[in-house]
Amino acid sequence: MNDELFDFDTLHRLIPHSDKMCLWEAVTAFDDDSVQCRTTRHLDLDHPLKRDGRLSKLHLIEFGAQTIAIHGGLKAQAEAENTASPFAKTPRPGYLASVKNITFGDFNPQTAVLTGQATQLMADDASKLYQFELQDQNGQTVCSGRALVIHPED
């Protein structure tokens, strides 16, 4: 089954993390307001976030943050491709400013697949507010919350 819109190599170029810290393997849905991602990379024995061979629930927040970064990168890429002007803005880096309303469900670090969705709730030139949700192989929510991303002045 290949339901990938964008693969790991594309995602790797969109976010400021390299190699094993690029946590998602594929984008399975994308539009102007949201993105859905999928991964099995959390099962890697040498996963960089694992301690004593285990992934903590707290690490799921990083998965959510990377889902948001992927959405922002894909939107910037799409806008650049749709702008013929040589003066089109280059994407501005975003920084995670806060996370709120984080809830954790039962999380089995050995779940076969993790999926994540990020939905943009608000955006302006200075910041973006997102809701994110991560689910296990059974569709059960293992982490959800909101995150504020800021774009500092150049």
Give how far Cα 48 sits from Cα of 103, 126, 137, 150, Å.
Answer: 23, 31, 22, 26
Helix runs in 15-140, H state only? 60-81
Condensed to tens digits (0 to 9), the pLDDT of residues 18-74 reads 677 889 999 999 999 999 999 999 998 888 888 888 899 999 999 999 999 999 988
Distance of alpha carbon 63 from alpha carbon 67, whole angstroms: 6
| pTM of the predicted model as reported, rounded to 2 decimal places | 0.88
pLDDT tens for residues 68-92? 999 998 888 887 777 665 545 556 7
pLDDT digits (tens, 9 = 90+) for 87-129: 455 567 889 999 999 999 999 999 999 999 999 999 998 999 9
Q: Which helix (H) or strand (E) holds 148?
A: strand 141-150
Domain ranges of the chain: 8-150
Cα–Cα distance, 51 to 59 (Å, whole number): 11
Of 149, 32, 39, 136, whose CA–CA distance to 98 is shortest?
149
- Which CATH code is given to the segment(s) 8-150? 3.10.129.10
Q: Do the beta carbons of residue 151 and residue 126 sit within 8 Å?
A: yes
State how far the Cα of 11 lies from the Cα of 48, in Å rounded to an integer.
Answer: 18
Alpha-carbon gap, residue 60 to 75, rounded angstroms: 23
Task: Report the distance separating Cα 119 and Cα 146, nearest Å.
Answer: 9
